[in-house]
Amino acid sequence: MAKQEDDFKKVISHAKEYGYVFQSSEIYDGLSAVYDYGQNGAELKKNIREYWWKAMVQLNDNIVGLDSAIFMHPTIWKASGHVDAFNDPLIDNKDSKKRYRADVLIEDYVGKIDAKIEKEVAKAAKRFGDTFDKEQFLATNQRVVDYQEQGKAILKRMGQSLEKEDLEDVKALIEELDIACPMSGSKNWTDVKQFNLMFGTKLGASAENAMDLYLRPETAQGIFVNFLNVQKSGRMKIPFGIAQTGKAFRNEIVARQFIFRMREFEQMEMQFFIQPGTQKEWYEVWKDKRMKWHLSLGMGQDNYRFHNHEKLAHYADAAADIEFRFPFGFKELEGIHSRTDFDLGSHEKFSGKKLQYFDYETNKNYVPYVLETSIGLDRMFLAVFSNSLVEEELDNNTTRTVLKLPAVLAPTKAAVFPLVKKDGLPELAQEIIEDLKWDFNVLYDEKDAVGRRYRRQDANGTPFCITVDHQSLEDNTVTIRHRDTMEQQRVAITELKAIIHKEVDMKSWLRRME
């Protein structure tokens, strides 16, 4: 645990030191669970958004984009169920006065059981070596089987109690499991209560006429209320999807995990409209497609897993999360939800307008079913950033800090250095930049010894460093150094564009999804 916490602290301080993420309003002591993205963070975020958008909208001829407003008519949130049911179960510790999400306390308890399983697996893998069969071990080792069953039973009971709104049983479960406040160790808990996560605001110039509004807690509803506008104006045929990225706001009860859980964050959501009855098929299709998108970034298959929901939201008939191994364990990164016709059906009722699709083949009208994929851009940022940050032992007994970002997402693709600040080397370096900058984000650095400049760019995640030396003036060649292997090659200046392009080109990364 201590190592995990330590690693996570390193991630947070590295993000600040290198201009990726800053605490919002820092000079006023910050605003809790709100963050700003710095010069590098803004680029990384933009690149992740683009990687998602291209995979969704550009590569699927039946998916189109949308950019709906954050402010929406307040009845939308009544229809969507958010006014009545967008609650989290909260519990306070009477001694420490700390507030928690009751479900998260229980899930963290199960997370500890999972960690024990992983430990057993690692021990056995060491003992058995090459002959180790993980699946078989998980299915037959009695201790591990017991752990798995214990975890499942806890989650099942919690899911059922939350489903029935039996908050007394949720508290009883916390007490039976002997869960203590992580801050103080106290087990003196209040009752569990429901807490609505939406932020309210007002629209209108005078107090008497002001209209109560909510800041949207998800981007999805903007898609549902525009379903017919897009379908008609784009002459879309079912099955088709509408994708959008944008800010969402939730008054989270506990927000202590950096950009994992924020009060203002960005979502990348896609709603896929389908014929009723086909939702099971599409659910599997989208689970598969989304996992392939994640794996295309090369961050390690072992770092992802599916988690099927026991407790389904009021709108869903099936739901799974793609979980990622964050520095604090496996946690939800993306949700894939089969939302049935709940949303469109409900907006029909509340608005009095028909939200139906006319199928020319069957000559029938129907309210389409919806399959949703929903991922937090900031959470994806944290997944990429934390997974990329490594301390590497080098041959000469030193270490280097490298941010091994997938090259396609790196904020800066290449840094260009003159070996020395004279003899015309800076001018040639600037000429190279002038040529490359139309295709890639590149930067110039002439400060300190070249070795230190390399380290700076390693820590910044820059995939290439290009050094201009005296030989460059004679034969128009430079050295290009690769971040991950630290290999250096002497190449012609005219080859640089092709070398960089080969590693950062979005097309070749996205092709890995096929």
Put residue 298 in one of left, alpha, beta given phi > 0 → left and psi -120 to 50 → alpha: left
CB atoms within 10 A of CB 366: 16
Interaction residues for ligand ATP, span 269-308 (CB under 6 A)? none
Q: CB of residue 314 vs ligand ATP: minimum separation in angstroms?
A: 12
CA distance 365 to 229: 16
Nearest by Cα to 334 from 313, 344, 319 = 319
One of 375, 407, 432, 480 touching ligand ATP (CB under 6 A): 375
Contact status: 356 vs ligand ATP (CB under 6 A): no
Beta carbons within 8 Å of 48's beta carbon, 6+ residues apart: 377, 380, 381, 384, 409
One of 267, 346, 356, 387 touching ligand ATP (CB under 6 A): 267
Q: CB of residue 360 vs ligand ATP: minimum separation in angstroms?
A: 34
Q: CB of residue 179 vs ligand ATP: minimum separation in angstroms?
A: 18
Q: CB of residue 268 vs ligand ATP: minimum separation in angstroms?
A: 9
Q: CB of residue 161 vs ligand ATP: minimum separation in angstroms?
A: 17
- The window from 1-9, 374-382, 445-453, 472-480 that contacts ligand ATP (CB under 6 A) reads 374-382
Site string for ligand ATP, 234-263 (x = CB under 6 A): ----------------x-x--------xx-
Cβ-based nearer residue to ligand ATP, 68 or 374? 374
CB atoms within 10 A of CB 74: 14
Contact status: 82 vs ligand ATP (CB under 6 A): no
Contact status: 41 vs ligand ATP (CB under 6 A): no
Contact status: 216 vs ligand ATP (CB under 6 A): no
One of 157, 379, 413, 483 touching ligand ATP (CB under 6 A): 379
The tokens for 417 are 């250095």
Cβ-based nearer residue to ligand ATP, 387 or 457? 387
Sign of CA dihedral 251, 252, 253, 256: negative
Interface size with ligand ATP, residues (CB under 6 A): 16
Contact status: 418 vs ligand ATP (CB under 6 A): no
Site string for ligand ATP, 162-201 (x = CB under 6 A): ----------------------------------------
CA distance 442 to 432: 10
Count of alpha carbons within 13 Å of 409, Cβ hemisphere only?
26
Q: CB of residue 168 vs ligand ATP: minimum separation in angstroms?
A: 22
Cβ-based nearer residue to ligand ATP, 33 or 367? 33
- 């169920």: which residue's tokens? 81
Q: Do 243 and 66 touch, CB atoms closer than 8 A?
A: yes
End-to-end CA distance of the chain: 38
SS3 content of the chain, % helix, strand, coil (to 5): 45, 25, 30
Cβ-based nearer residue to ligand ATP, 253 or 510? 253
Phi, psi for 17 (deg, rounded to 5): -60, -35
Q: CB of residue 260 vs ligand ATP: minimum separation in angstroms?
A: 6
Contact status: 327 vs ligand ATP (CB under 6 A): no
Cα 483 from chain centre? 25
- Cα angle for residues 196, 197, 203 (degrees, 5° grid): 100
Cβ-based nearer residue to ligand ATP, 95 or 323? 323
Cis status of the peptide bond prior to 182, with omega within 30 of 0: no
Q: CB of residue 27 vs ligand ATP: minimum separation in angstroms?
A: 24
- The window from 73-81, 328-336, 406-414, 441-449 that contacts ligand ATP (CB under 6 A) reads 328-336
Cβ-based nearer residue to ligand ATP, 376 or 411? 376
- The residue sitting closest to ligand ATP, measured at its beta carbon, is 376
Q: CB of residue 7 vs ligand ATP: minimum separation in angstroms?
A: 20
CA distance 335 to 286: 11
Cα 396 from chain centre? 37
Beta carbons within 8 Å of 288's beta carbon, 6+ residues apart: none
Sign of CA dihedral 105, 107, 113, 114: negative
Q: Do 214 and 200 touch, CB atoms closer than 8 A?
A: yes
Cβ-based nearer residue to ligand ATP, 375 or 425? 375
Contact status: 334 vs ligand ATP (CB under 6 A): yes
Cβ-based nearer residue to ligand ATP, 252 or 458? 252
403: DSSP letter: E
CA distance 98 to 95: 8
Cβ-based nearer residue to ligand ATP, 334 or 341? 334
Q: Which residues bind ligand ATP (CB under 6 A)?
A: 218, 250, 252, 261-262, 265, 267, 332-335, 374-376, 378-379
